[in-house]
Amino acid sequence: MKKKSVKKPNKSVRTPTKNKGLNWSWQRITVVISGIALFLVILTPLHRPVVNSVLGVSIVKGMYQESVVPLPKVSGAVKYNIYYKSSADSTFVNAVRNVNPRLVDYTITYLKMNTGYQYKISAVNNKGAEFWWSPTTNMTNLQSM
C-alpha cells in the first residue's frame, strides 16, 4: 500500500491577527489621508482645455480660413444646399446640406489657407428636388480662423 501524503500548511499564508494599538492608529491615518486625497480629486476639474495651458496660443490659428456665404431668398425653398470646391478642382467635392432658409448667410470653416474657393447654391423644394441654382461664385471674403 502507498502512503498517503499529508499536505503541510503553506507557511507564506498568514492567518489574520487582531490589530494592536500602533497598527490600528496607522490604519486610521491611512484611511483619513485616502479620504482627503479622494476629496481633492473630486474637486479637480475632469476636463482641462489644452489650448489654455499656454495663453495666446491657438492650434487652429494660421492653418485654416473661413468664408461667409450670403444666402439668396428663393420663393418655395424649404432648405438650401451649398456646394464648394477649391479653384483647382474640376467638380464640387464638398457640400453643406439642409441649410435653414431663414438664415441670411452661412459660414464655411476649415478651408485650407492660401487656396481659392468657389461655391454655388441650390434651393430645395418641399418634395426634396433642387429646383434653382445660383451661378458659380468665387469666395472673396476668406479670413483666417
* pTM exceeds 0.75 for this model: no
What rounded mean pLDDT belongs to the chain? 79
| 51: confidence class by pLDDT, cuts 50, 70, 90 | very low
- Quick one: pLDDT at residue 52? 47
- Contacting residues for 106 by C-beta, under 8 A, at least 6 apart: 68, 69, 71, 80, 82, 96, 99
Closest by Cα among 100, 134, 97, 103 to 119: 134
Return the H-helix or E-strand segment holding 119.
Answer: strand 117-124
Mean pLDDT for 38-62 is 54
Question: Residue 55 pLDDT more than 70?
Answer: no
| 68: confidence class by pLDDT, cuts 50, 70, 90 | very high
**C-alpha to C-alpha distances, 89 to 84, 94, 115, 132, nearest whole angstrom:** 10, 11, 11, 23
- DSSP codes of every residue in 54-110: STT--SSTTTEEEEEEEPP--TT-SEEEEEEEETT-SS--EEEEEE-TT-SEEEEEE
Per residue in 129-140, pLDDT (tens digit) is 999 999 999 998
- Spell out the domain ranges in the chain: 64-144
Fold of 64-144: Immunoglobulin-like (2.60.40)
- Quick one: pLDDT at residue 17? 56
| 145: confidence class by pLDDT, cuts 50, 70, 90 | confident
Q: Which residue has the higher pLDDT, 57 or 87?
A: 87
- Quick one: pLDDT at residue 132? 97
- Between CA 50 and CA 73 the distance in angstroms is 42
